Amino acid sequence: MKSLLKLIATLFLVFTLFLGILFLVFFFYLKITLPSISQLKNYRPQQTNIVLDVNGEVIGYIGKKRRIFVPLEKIPPHVVKAFIAAEDANFYKHKGIDFLSVLRALYKNIIHGKIVQGGSTITQQVVRALLLTPERTIQRKIKEIILAWQIEKHLTKNEILTIYLNHIYLGEGAYGVEAAALTYFNKHVWELDLNEAATIAGLPPAPSRYSPLRNPKLAIARRNYVLRRMAEVGYISWDTAKYVSTQPLVLNPKNVNIPLYAAYFIDAVKEELSQILPPKVVEQGGLKIQTTLDLEWIKRAYENSIRTLNKLFSSHKEVPEFAVVCLNNEDGGVRILIGGKDYRESSYNRAIFAKRQPGSAFKPFIWATAIDGGILLPDSIIPDEPITIPGADNGKDWSPRNYDNKYMGPINLKDALAYSRNTVSVRIALLTGLKKIEEMVKKLEFQFNQPINYSIALGTYEVTLLELTRAYTIFPNMGVLIKPHFIEKIYDKIYNSSKILYQYSSENKPVISAHTAYVMNGFMQAVVQYGTGKCAKALGVPVAGKTGTTQEYKDAWFVGYTPRYTCGVWVGYDKDKTLRRGETGGRVACPLWLSVMQGTAHEYQEFPIYIPFEELSKSFSNFTLSN
Catalytic residues: 87, 360
d(CA 479, CA 513): 5
Alpha-carbon distances of 68 from 137, 226, 433, 489, rounded to whole Å = 32, 24, 59, 19
Element (DSSP H or E) covering residue 327: strand 321-328
What are the residues whose beta carbons fall under 8 Å from the beta carbon of 146, sequence distance 6 or more? 27, 30, 31, 34
Element (DSSP H or E) covering residue 243: helix 238-245
What are the residues whose beta carbons fall under 8 Å from the beta carbon of 234, sequence distance 6 or more? none
**Sequence-ordered alpha helix ranges (H) in 394-550:** 413-418, 422-432, 434-443, 465-472, 514-530
> Exposed, middle or buried: residue 337 (CB in 10 Å: 0-12, 13-18, 19+)?
buried
Crossing angle between the packed helical segments 216-232 and 238-245, to the nearest 10 degrees: 170
DSSP codes, 462-477: -B-HHHHHHHHTTTTT
Residues paired with 484 in a beta bridge? none
Q: Which amino acid is at 215?
A: N
Crossing angle between the packed helical segments 216-232 and 77-87, to the nearest 10 degrees: 90
Alpha-carbon distances of 252 from 185, 220, 326, rounded to whole Å = 4, 15, 33
Q: Which amino acid is at 294?
A: D
d(CA 514, CA 111): 86
Asked whether 557 and 359 are in contact (CB, 8 A), the reply is yes
d(CA 524, CA 364): 8
d(CA 598, CA 540): 10
Question: Strand 487-493 relative to strand 496-503: parallel, antiparallel, unpaired?
Answer: antiparallel
d(CA 356, CA 579): 14
What are the residues whose beta carbons fall under 8 Å from the beta carbon of 422, sequence distance 6 or more? 360, 400, 401, 402, 403, 457, 458
What are the residues whose beta carbons fall under 8 Å from the beta carbon of 375, sequence distance 6 or more? 369, 428, 431, 432, 436
> Exposed, middle or buried: residue 107 (CB in 10 Å: 0-12, 13-18, 19+)?
exposed
Asked whether 437 and 426 are in contact (CB, 8 A), the reply is no
